[in-house]
A and B are shown apart, each in its own frame.
Chain A
Amino acid sequence: MTTANALTIPGLETVYDALATAIDQAGPEKAQLFLVKLALLNANALADPEQFSGHIDAALKDL
């Protein structure tokens, strides 16, 4: 999926580490809840339900 405002490689690496660390911090029981909260916060920042649906479709692929 390509978007106009993509992350830089260093930016992507920062997000990668931060997300992995936060999932570990939330712990296995709360990881799902944490990820859903995060998705809602990101969706609100995105402010575009259609684009968010596109993200859902992309994430559902190849599970």
Chain B
Amino acid sequence: MHQPTTEARPSIYYQYQVFQPWLASRHPAQKRQQVVIVGSGPSGMVTALELARHGVASVVLSAELQFSQGSRAICFTRRSMEILQQVGVAERMTEGGLPWRFGNSFYRGQRVFRMEAPHDPDDRFFPIINVQQQYMEEYLHDACQANPLIELRWGNQVVQVEQQDGYARVTVDTPEGEYQLESDWVVAADGGRSPIRSAMELQMEGASYEGFFVIADIKIDLPLPTERLAYFDPEWNPGNTILMHREPNGIWRVDYQLPVGETPEEALRPESLKARIDAQLEMIGFGGTPWEMDWSSVYSARTLTLPDYLHGSVIFTGDAAHLLPIFGVRGANTAFQDAQSLAWHLAFVVKGLAGPQLLANHSAERVGAAREIIDEAGKSTRFMTPPSAGFRLLRDAVLSLSLTQEFVRPLYHWRTSRPHEYTHSMLNSAGDDNRLFTAGPAHGAPPQNVRLGADDFLLDHLGGGFDLLYFTEAAALPAPLQQVVDVTRARGVPLRVTAVGAARPVAGADQTLADADGHLRARYGVQASGAAYLLRPDQHVCARWLTLDATRLQAALATALPQ
């Protein structure tokens, strides 16, 4: 019998609500579900919200009765905010969050590198915003609660998943015992230790790094701006690295590497935590400032992924699918992209709008993304926590040179999470004009946001299905294009047409953006009327044309939705 704790988790700044467990005895017998999502973390809830947006219902199972312990993921990238905007929680994230764009690296008391993340006036969101994960989960949970297509069941722990012919049987343990649930699809969003992954004996590929890091959240009043602070090889922790981040609610994250040979248990003893945090505060000139511990944990860097996320009726996503080092804020930020991708691919298969190849494409695209992240993150990780004597020597040589030599300083840059471009996706149109454009987002790229006016951006107007951006000054959509749009919609495919560049509403378009100053056209590399972009439901570009015609639109839609 699964008995999750009913005691609210301790926290200085966050009041945990303990939810009631969902009990099968209080509900009628259940039909087979279309989608069951195991896990109510960032990837699970965003998958549910995006599925619902595409009209697909889901049941979300959470083993616990409350949001996760501690701040965990705290840094959310611009692309994450754009995805969270799509599921309706970006405003709440912005209200409570601390945006930032500068990072500083220190060695021997000298600032040896300053990262300045660009902030384009065309972007609605900052490069990074800090929000504690419990709040993010609360916002997503509230959005799930408000959605009639999502049923979230607290206190429901999955103990077995059996693959059947075309569906899966899920055994769920609850405070009153087990019940069974059948589902066409099971999304394993059950986290880095994924019990489903273990039970299915799936092996991940990649590397694990030996160094342990302590994460500690402390309440302290430090008169420092919201910027990333990284300290290399300080006197109190020779050879190791310390990171600091400001969080909302008067909390600071202190993240430090442990000396070789020290166990996590030793490191988390209160006196050990206190001595090291005091030493760090002393080093940055705030020794003796009172502070209080909120939460601490230990992690090690890993760069691992499953080679395929699709296994029969089970699809792995987020940390259950891959384990990525936190340097470069790659956990939740990657999970949001996974979830956004998974939801539309799965929804279109569930609704019969595409064949099973579409799910294979999801797996191929996201495994590709994970491998790219692993490659990039591996470089940062080898600098932050050198895996061998050679890497340590090189890192130390760079630290030493960086005091006087400009050319090595970019090595401090830790390559912050960025959205993967599906450049070689099978969904990209082969017969379009992608290569003829000299600007704008190319095949597979996420869209470029564009400021349209005060508090008004391009991405506010897109999403939820395929988007056709049609650049025109004419009064109406050409009849042959209109016909393809109509036939596509009649098949059940959501396709929104946005006309760009006409002063008056264009007949046949769902919305018209005047783009009076031509800025949007410039950012999209459009020089003449008749050009177009086709964006997938995850907003990535799958086709673009200098001059769109009906035949090529039809072909691009057929390629994007393989049968």
- What residues make up the interface of A, taking CB atoms closer than 8 Å to B? 32-33, 36-37, 39-41, 44
Contact = CB atoms under 8 A, between A and B. Distances in A.
B405 A33 contact: no
Contacts of A44: 405, 407-408
A54 B475 CA distance: 64
19 contacts: A33-B393, A33-B396, A33-B397, A33-B400, A36-B393, A36-B394, A36-B396, A36-B397, A37-B397, A37-B401, A39-B397, A40-B397, A40-B398, A40-B401, A40-B408, A41-B401, A44-B405, A44-B407, A44-B408
Interface in B32-58: none
A37 B408 CA distance: 10
A11 B400 CA distance: 28
Contacts of A33: 393, 396-397, 400
Contacts of A36: 393-394, 396-397
Contacts of B408: 40, 44
A32 B396 CA distance: 10
A60 B407 CA distance: 26
Nearest to B406: A44
Interface residues of B, number: 10
Nearest to B405: A41
Interface in B394-417: 394, 396-398, 400-401, 405, 407-408
Contacts of A41: 401, 405
B248 to A, nearest CB: 40
Nearest to B411: A40
A32 B393 CA distance: 8
Interface of B: 393-394, 396-398, 400-401, 405, 407-408
A40 B395 CA distance: 11
Nearest to A44: B407
Residue in A33, A37, A41 with the greatest tally of chain B CB atoms within 10 Å? A37
A39 B405 CA distance: 13
Contacts of B398: 40
A42 to B, nearest CB: 12
A24 to B, nearest CB: 18
A37 B405 CA distance: 10
A35 B424 CA distance: 43
A30 B367 CA distance: 43
A44 B396 CA distance: 17
A15 B401 CA distance: 21
Nearest to B400: A37
A7 B351 CA distance: 72
A61 B151 CA distance: 65
A41 B397 CA distance: 10
A40 to B, nearest CB: 6
A33 to B, nearest CB: 6
Contacts of B397: 33, 36-37, 39-40
B456 to A, nearest CB: 46
B148 to A, nearest CB: 58
A44 to B, nearest CB: 5
A44 B407 CA distance: 8
Contacts of A40: 394, 397-398, 401, 408
Contacts of B396: 33, 36
A36 B408 CA distance: 13
Nearest to A47: B407
A40 B404 CA distance: 13
Contacts of B400: 33, 37
A49 B400 CA distance: 21
A3 B242 CA distance: 44
B408 to A, nearest CB: 7
A57 to B, nearest CB: 16
A48 B407 CA distance: 14
Contacts of B394: 36, 40
A39 B407 CA distance: 13
Contacts of B407: 44
B518 to A, nearest CB: 41
In the A-B complex, the 6 residue pairs with the closest CB atoms: A36-B397, A37-B397, A44-B407, A36-B393, A37-B401, A33-B396
A41 B401 CA distance: 9
A48 B408 CA distance: 15
Nearest to B390: A36
Nearest to B393: A36
A50 B476 CA distance: 57
A32 B390 CA distance: 10
A44 B408 CA distance: 9
Nearest to B394: A36
A8 B541 CA distance: 58
A45 to B, nearest CB: 10
Given A32-B393, A39-B397, A44-B407, 11 more contacts: A33-B393, A33-B397, A36-B393, A36-B394, A37-B401, A40-B394, A40-B397, A40-B398, A40-B401, A40-B408, A41-B401
A49 to B, nearest CB: 13
A11 to B, nearest CB: 24
A33 B398 CA distance: 10
Nearest to B397: A36
B242 to A, nearest CB: 21
Nearest to B408: A40
Nearest to A39: B397
Nearest to A36: B397
